[in-house]
Amino acid sequence: MMSRLAPRWPAWLFWWQAACPQGVSAQQRTWAGASRIPGPGGPWGATGTSPLVRRGSSSASSCAPEVVLTRERYSVRRLPFSVVSEDDLAALERIVPGRVITDPEELEAPNVDWLRTVRGSSKVLLRPRTSQEVAHILRYCHERNLAVSPQGGNTGMVGGSTPVFDEIIVSTALMNQIVSFHNVSGVLVCQAGCVLEELSRYVEERGFVVPLDLGAKGSCHIGGNVATNAGGLRFLRYGSLRGTVLGLEVVLADGTILNCLTSLRKDNTGYDLKQLFIGSEGTLGVITAVSILCPPKPSAVNVAFLGCPGFAEVLQTFCTCRGMLGEILSAFEFMDAECMKLVGLHLHLACPVQESPFYILIETSGSGAGHDAEKLSGFLEQVLGSGLVTDGTLATDQRRIKMLWALRERITEALSRDGYVYKYDLSLPLDRLYDLVSDLRARLGLHAKHVVGYGHLGDGNLHLNVTAEAFSPSLLGTLEPYVYEWTARQRGSVSAEHGLGFKKKDVLGYSKPPEALQLMQQLKALLDPKGILNPYKTLPTRT
C-alpha cells in the first residue's frame, strides 16, 4: 500500500525543494538545512529490519562480559519453593515431550535480559504448544510448589521476563499460530507467542494494522506485549491495549483455563476479567491467546523529522501540531541532541537535518494522501515560519519513512552499546517533562557518560537514560531515589509503559497509595495463593 502513495503536495512545498542547494527527491526533502540524508548505500546502512527489532536472544552473545547474577547484585532472598527434581523433569517431559530444555548453553540466553542487567539460574525451560499444555504445566507446578517464570520474546526493560533464581521458564515461543482474522471487523485472534512484526505483516497484507508498534517488534511476543501493557509508538493514535484487546485466554496459577477470548467490541457481561491480566506481568496468570482489534491500514503515511531550538519550542510545536493535524496525527516523538550523538556514534546513523538541541518526529496516517499533504504542509509552513522549528525533512515513501523512524527507534540500542544503562520510563506533566533531564545532567556531572531524554511526548512519556562504563552502586545511589522522588512530586508515574518487573517493583509506592498496594497484594493472593507465578516481580518485596 505504501508504495502506491502519490500525495498531491501543494505548490509552496516545491519552493522549499527549489530552495535546497542540492536536488533532493520529491519523497525526501529537507528545508533550510545543511545536512542531507545520504542514499541507500550511505551511513544509514540497510533499510530493512534493524538489529534492535531482533533483540532478545541475540543479545546474549558469548563474547560479551558475563552478567552478574541477580541474586548477587541485588539483596534478594529465594522464597521457599521446591527445587526441580529428576522426577519433576520426567513428569514435565510427559506433558511437553521433547520440549523440556535443560542444556546449560541453551539456557544461557533465556536466563539473561536483553539489556544484560539481570541474570537468573533456571535449569529448565519448557516450550508448550497449546494452552492445554500450559494448563498441565501450571497444574503440576502448583501442586509441587514449583515457581514459574513465563517468557515471551524476552525484550522487557525491567527484568520482568527472566528468572531471578531457579524458576522454571515457560516460553511461549512455540505458541505462534494465528487462530483467525476477520477481514471486515479487523479482529485478529492468535496465540500468545506470535511475534509482533509477523502479526503486523499478516494484517497489513489484509488492509489493517496492529494497533501497537514498538522498537522490539522483531522479537517481542504479543502475549508479552499484553502482559506488560506495552505502550509504544502508536499509542497516541490507537490508545491503550486496555481498549484494543478484546479478549484473552489465560491459564491461572492452578492450571485453570480462563477463556475470555471473545471478538466483540463491546461486552458488559460482568467484571472485565481480562483487564486483571493486561499489565500484570505474568504474576496473576499466563496469557496464552489474544484477541485484538486492528484498525484499517491508513492509505497515506507521512513522516516529518524536525529540528527545534529548545524544549519550549518542542511543546509549542506539539500544541500547533495537534490543532492543525488533528485526527491524522499518529505519532509525536522527541529526542535530544545527546540521543542523536549516540545513534551517530554507535550505529553510524546520520542526522538528516541541521544539528539542533532537540528533534521531533511527527507521523501522520490518514485516508486521503492529498488532504493529509495539505494539512501537513500548512502545519510545516506555520512552524517553520514562526521559528518553532529551524529545519526539517519529510518522507512519504516507506523506505525513507523507515529510515527516519530508525533514528528514534534505535536509540535504545545505541544506549546499550554505550555501556551500562540506567533506564527510567516516566510519565510527567508536559511542561516539566525535560526539566528532570537537565537537572540530572547537572547533578551527575562527569559521573555519567551520557544523560539523555527522549520519548513519546504526545503521551507525556519521557525515557530518561543514564549511561556509565559499568554498573556502580554509588551512581545508582545518586540516581535513586532522587529520580523517583522528583517524579512523585510532580504526581507522575515511575513506570509509564515498561512495567515494574524485577528492577522497579520496590518503587511502586512512589506512584500508588498504600491502599492500592494492599489491594494489589490481595489480588495476587487470590489469584496465585502459593505465589508461584513470576515471583519477585511487580509487587514490592514484603518486609
d(CA 93, CA 435): 54
Which one of residues 78, 139, 144, 322 is an interface residue with its own copies (CB under 8 A)? 322
In the range 209-228, which residues lie near its own copies by CB under 8 A?
228
**HEC string for 246-263:** EEEEEECCCCCEEEECCC
Question: Is position 464 an interface residue for its own copies (rule: CB under 8 A)?
Answer: no
Written as one string, the DSSP assignment of 42-72 is: STT--SSS-GGGGTTGGG--TTSPPPPPHHH
Write each residue from 173 to 192 as x if it is in contact with its own copies (CB under 8 A), else as -, in one continuous string.
Answer: -----------xx-------
176 dihedral zone (left: phi>0; alpha: psi -120 to 50; beta) = alpha
**H helix and E strand count, the chain:** 19, 17
CB of 122 to its own copies, least distance (A): 25
Question: Is position 273 an interface residue for its own copies (rule: CB under 8 A)?
Answer: yes
Which one of residues 368, 399, 447, 482 is an interface residue with its own copies (CB under 8 A)? 368
Of 348, 303, 394, the closest CA to residue 46 belongs to 348
Stretch that binds its own copies, among 352-360, 432-440, 456-464, 473-481 (CB under 8 A): 456-464
Helix, strand or coil, per DSSP, at residue 418: coil
Question: Is position 304 an interface residue for its own copies (rule: CB under 8 A)?
Answer: no
Residue 82 carries which side chain, given as an amino acid letter? S
Which one of residues 328, 401, 407, 468 is an interface residue with its own copies (CB under 8 A)? 328
d(CA 435, CA 392): 25
Nearer of residues 405 and 510 to its own copies, judged by Cβ: 510
In the range 392-451, which residues lie near its own copies by CB under 8 A?
427, 429-431
Stretch that binds its own copies, among 50-58, 64-72, 319-327, 384-392 (CB under 8 A): 319-327
User: Scanning the structure block, which residue is given the C-alpha cell 520482568?
Assistant: 160
Q: Are 477 and 513 in contact (CB under 8 A)?
A: no
Burial-class residue 543 by CB neighbours within 10 Å (0-12, 13-18, 19+): exposed
Which one of residues 288, 377, 416, 461 is an interface residue with its own copies (CB under 8 A)? 461
Q: Which three cell numbers stand for residue 188?
A: 485478529
d(CA 260, CA 273): 8
Which one of residues 32, 89, 109, 257 is an interface residue with its own copies (CB under 8 A)? 257
Question: Is position 260 an interface residue for its own copies (rule: CB under 8 A)?
Answer: yes
Burial-class residue 324 by CB neighbours within 10 Å (0-12, 13-18, 19+): middle
Q: Which three cell numbers stand for residue 326?
A: 488533528
In the range 20-59, which residues lie near its own copies by CB under 8 A?
none
Stretch that binds its own copies, among 130-138, 168-176, 271-279, 395-403 (CB under 8 A): 271-279
Write each residue from 230 to 249 as x if it is in contact with its own copies (CB under 8 A), else as -, in one continuous string.
Answer: -x---x---xx-xxx-----
Adjacent-strand bridge partners of 302: 364
Helix, strand or coil, per DSSP, at residue 430: helix
CB of 266 to its own copies, least distance (A): 4
Nearer of residues 227 and 421 to its own copies, judged by Cβ: 227
Nearer of residues 86 and 515 to its own copies, judged by Cβ: 515
Distance between start and end Cα atoms, the chain: 56
Question: Is position 382 an interface residue for its own copies (rule: CB under 8 A)?
Answer: no
Element (H, E) at 365: strand 358-366
Nearer of residues 176 and 538 to its own copies, judged by Cβ: 538
Adjacent-strand bridge partners of 221: 195
Nearer of residues 198 and 254 to its own copies, judged by Cβ: 254
Question: Is position 526 an interface residue for its own copies (rule: CB under 8 A)?
Answer: yes
Question: Is position 284 an interface residue for its own copies (rule: CB under 8 A)?
Answer: yes
Question: Is position 354 an interface residue for its own copies (rule: CB under 8 A)?
Answer: no
CB of 513 to its own copies, least distance (A): 5
Strands (E), 116-200: 125-126, 148-151, 168-171, 178-181, 187-191
Nearer of residues 120 and 285 to its own copies, judged by Cβ: 285
Stretch that binds its own copies, among 60-68, 115-123, 170-178, 278-286 (CB under 8 A): 278-286
Buried-state track 338-363, b at ≥16 Cβ within 10 A, e below 16: bbbbbbeebbebbbbbbebbbbbbbb
Question: Is position 325 an interface residue for its own copies (rule: CB under 8 A)?
Answer: yes
Tell me, by CB under 8 A, how many residues bind its own copies.
88
Element (H, E) at 345: helix 337-347
Which one of residues 121, 299, 398, 472 is an interface residue with its own copies (CB under 8 A)? 299
In the range 482-521, which residues lie near its own copies by CB under 8 A?
491-500, 507-508, 510-513, 515-517, 519-520
Which one of residues 58, 145, 180, 367 is an interface residue with its own copies (CB under 8 A)? 367
Nearer of residues 125 and 248 to its own copies, judged by Cβ: 248
Question: Is position 131 an interface residue for its own copies (rule: CB under 8 A)?
Answer: no
CB of 526 to its own copies, least distance (A): 6
